Structure 1
Amino acid sequence: MSITQLAAVPPVHRAAPVFRGRLGRDARSGHHAVPHRYRLHLSTACPDGLRLAVGHSLLGLDDGCPVSLLPAVPDCPGGGHSALRPLYEASAHHYTGPALGPVLSDDWSGRIVSTHAPDILRDLDRFPHEGRVSLYPRGLESVIEAAERMCSEGVEEAAQRAGQAGGDPAERAAALDVLLDTLGRLENRLAGEEYLVDDRLTAADVELWAALVQLDTVHRCHLDACAVHRIAGHGALWAYARRLAAHPAFGRHLDLDGISRRHHGRCRGLEAAGAAVQILDWAGHAADAGGTSRR
C-alpha cells in the first residue's frame, strides 16, 4: 500500500501562522539561503520545536544556522517568550500578540522570517549540506508531504481529540478509531521497512517520530488503559520509534522533563488510567543516543 493511500485521513486545518517568509536560492528572494545569517529559536519540549531540532541535526547545520533554546514553559504572562519579544516587535508594528516559538530569524535584519514550522524545515533543507541527508529528496516531495500529513492528522491530532476532556464520547471514540486505523497502516508499512518512505531517512520519519513521542508522553495520559494497550500493540511501529530514539540526531533532543512541565502547564484535562501505561523507556533510549532526557 502506498503512502498516498495510507494518508486517507480527513483533513484538519491548522491555524494560520503570524509570519510566513521563505528562504530562496538566490539573493533576489530577499532571504538568500546562506550560512551564518539565520537563527532558529525553539524549545524541544514543543512538538514543532523537537521536529526542527532533529531536522537541524540531521542536516548538520549547527555552524551554518545556530539554535537558541527557549524554556519549556513560556515565561510571559498569557504565553510567549520574553526572548522572542524584540523579534516580534521589530517584525510587526505595534505587535501585541504572544511571542511564540519556534521562530526562524534573520540576524542581519533582526526580524522574523517565519514562525511556520513545516516551511522552516523545508527551508533548512535548502541550505548547503554537502554529503549529508536530504530531508526532501527530489522526486519524493509529494510522497513525503502525504506521509507528514497522515502522521500529523491521523496520529497527533487524532490522539488529542480522543483524549479531549469534556468532549462528546462518540467524537472521542471516532477519533480513537482514526488513531488506531492510522497506527495500523503505519505498522503494516514499517513491518518490512526501516523507514517510512523509499527506505531512506526523510522528513516523514522526523514527523512520525515526534508524533509518537507526543503520543506516549502526553496524549496517553488522557486515554484509558485499554486504548493505550491497543496503541502499544503495534510492535513494528514502536520498535521503529525505539530505534530512532537511539539515533544521536533524535535522542539527544529528547527533553522529557520539559515535555512534562509544558504539558502540565498547558493542559486542563483529567488524567486517565492510560497515564500509568508507558509504552517506551524514552529516557533509556535517549541515553543510548549519547544524550540525556533533560536540558
Structure 2
Amino acid sequence: MTVTPLSAHAATHATARTAPAFRGRIGRDARSGHYAVPGRYRLHLSTACPDGLRIAVVHSLLGLDTDCPATFLPAVPADPERGHAVLRPLYEASAHRYPGPALGPVLSDSWSGRIVSTHTPDITRDLSRFGGAGPAPYPCGAESEIEAVERMCRQGVDEAAQRAGAAEGGQAERDAALGTLLETLGALDRWLDGRAYMIRDQVTAADVEVWTTLVQLDTVHRQHLDATAVHRIADHPALWSYARAITAHPAFGGHLDLAGIERRHRARCQGLESAGAAVQILDWTAHTTRP
C-alpha cells in the first residue's frame, strides 16, 4: 500500500492544526513522574471529534472505565472562544495565563490538577500502560505497521478528501487529490478483501485508525464532494463491508455519536455543501451495537 507524500503546504497546515499544547507521557514506573496508577488519571474527550473517538475506542477495548475514567464532553463548547468550561482549570493550572481555548482530548492528572497530554497518538499508546482486560491495541512488534496505517489514513484519505472538497484551489488540484483518495481506498479495499482485521487476527489500533477515518470520510468529507465522487468512494465493497463489521463491535459502534459529529461539523465548517452530502455511503446506525 503506497502513501502519497504531503506537499510542503499541506504538511505545514496539518502540523499547525494538530500541534499539541502538552505532551507528557505515562511511563512504566515511578521514576518516569507520570506512571500508571489506577484512578490517578482521567480522560476528557468528545466522541464527535475524530481524535476523541479514537481514544474512546482504545479506552473501551482495554476496559479502563475504572482504572482511567473518562468524562465525555459536548460536541461543541458553549463558548467556542474559551472552549469547554470544565477544562479551563486544567489548562490554566498547566500553563500560566493560557490564552487559547480549552479543548479536548485531554489526559489529566488528579494528583496535580494539571494536564498530562493533549496529543492523541501518545494518549492512545499510553493507555496500554494500565494493562486492561481487553486485547492489546498495540501488540508487540506491530508498531511500525500501525504507524504506516496511520500515515496512510491521514495523508491518503483524510487530507486528500479535504483537498478534494476544498473551495479554494483549482479543479486540477481537486482532481489530483480525489485521485490520491481513490488510490488509497483501492489499496485498502484490496488489502481487506477476505480479511477481518487490518494487520493481525484480532482488533488492533490499526483498525481503530481505519474505522475512525472511514467514519469521518462518510459523515464529514463527503458533504463537500460531488455525487459522482462519493459513488466512486462507495465502490470499494471489501472496505465498506469491513467498516460495517467493525461498527458492530461495541467498543467501536457504541461510541458513534452521529448527531454530535453533525453538530461539530456545522459549527466548524466554512465550506459549501455539495451534491455528495445527499449520498450516504453507510447506514452506520443499522450496524451499531451499544455496550
Identity %: 69
Separation in 1 of the partners of 2:155 and 2:82?
Answer: 25
Q: How far off is 1:33 after superposition?
A: 1.3
Contact 1:7 1:147 in 2 (8 A): no
User: Structure 1 residues 122, 189: CA separation in 2 closer, same or farther (over 3 Å shift)?
Assistant: same
Deviations 1:214-257 (A, max 9, x none): 10011101000000000000000000001111110011101110
Separation in 1 of the partners of 2:57 and 2:135?
Answer: 12
Q: How far off is 1:83 after superposition?
A: 1.1
Q: Tell me the number of residue pairs that the alignment of Structure 1 and Structure 2 aligns.
A: 283
For 2:128, the equivalent position in structure 1 comes to 125
For 2:167, the equivalent position in structure 1 comes to 165
For 2:3, the equivalent position in structure 1 comes to 8
| Unmatched runs of 5 consecutive residues or more in structure 2 | none
Deviations 1:109-136 (A, max 9, x none): 1100000001100000221224x21111
Equivalent residues in 2 for 1:85-234, closer than 5 Å: 85-130=88-133, 132-234=134-236
SS of aligned partner of 1:36: coil
For 1:3, the equivalent position in structure 2 comes to none
For 2:36, the equivalent position in structure 1 comes to 33
Q: AA paired with 1:200?
A: Q
Q: How far off is 1:166 after superposition?
A: 2.5
For 2:262, the equivalent position in structure 1 comes to 260
Q: How far off is 1:140 after superposition?
A: 1.0
Q: AA paired with 2:173?
A: E
Q: AA paired with 1:290?
A: R
For 2:274, the equivalent position in structure 1 comes to 272
Separation in 2 of the partners of 1:30 and 1:161?
Answer: 41
| Aligned-pair Cα RMSD in Å | 1.2
Separation in 2 of the partners of 1:126 and 1:201?
Answer: 18
Separation in 1 of the partners of 2:2 and 2:24?
Answer: 28
Q: AA paired with 2:83?
A: G
Q: AA paired with 2:139?
A: P
Separation in 1 of the partners of 2:264 and 2:213?
Answer: 16
Whether 2:48 is the aligned partner of 1:53: answer no
| Unmatched runs of 5 consecutive residues or more in structure 1 | 1-5
Deviations 1:50-84 (A, max 9, x none): 11111100010011100001110122242521111
Contact 2:3 2:155 in 1 (8 A): no
Separation in 2 of the partners of 1:217 and 1:108?
Answer: 38
Q: AA paired with 1:284?
A: A
Contact 1:152 1:208 in 2 (8 A): no
SS of aligned partner of 2:215: helix
Separation in 2 of the partners of 1:258 and 1:79?
Answer: 19
Q: AA paired with 2:31?
A: R
Q: How far off is 1:7 after superposition?
A: 4.3
SS of aligned partner of 1:22: coil
Q: How far off is 1:88 after superposition?
A: 0.2
Contact 2:3 2:151 in 1 (8 A): no
For 1:290, the equivalent position in structure 2 comes to 290
Separation in 2 of the partners of 1:65 and 1:105?
Answer: 10
SS of aligned partner of 2:130: coil
Separation in 2 of the partners of 1:77 and 1:275?
Answer: 25
Contact 2:23 2:119 in 1 (8 A): yes
Separation in 2 of the partners of 1:123 and 1:7?
Answer: 28
TM-score, scaled relative to structure 2: 0.94
Deviations 1:76-96 (A, max 9, x none): 242521111100000011111
SS of aligned partner of 1:125: helix
Separation in 1 of the partners of 2:163 and 2:201?
Answer: 31
Separation in 1 of the partners of 2:283 and 2:245?
Answer: 12
SS of aligned partner of 1:135: coil
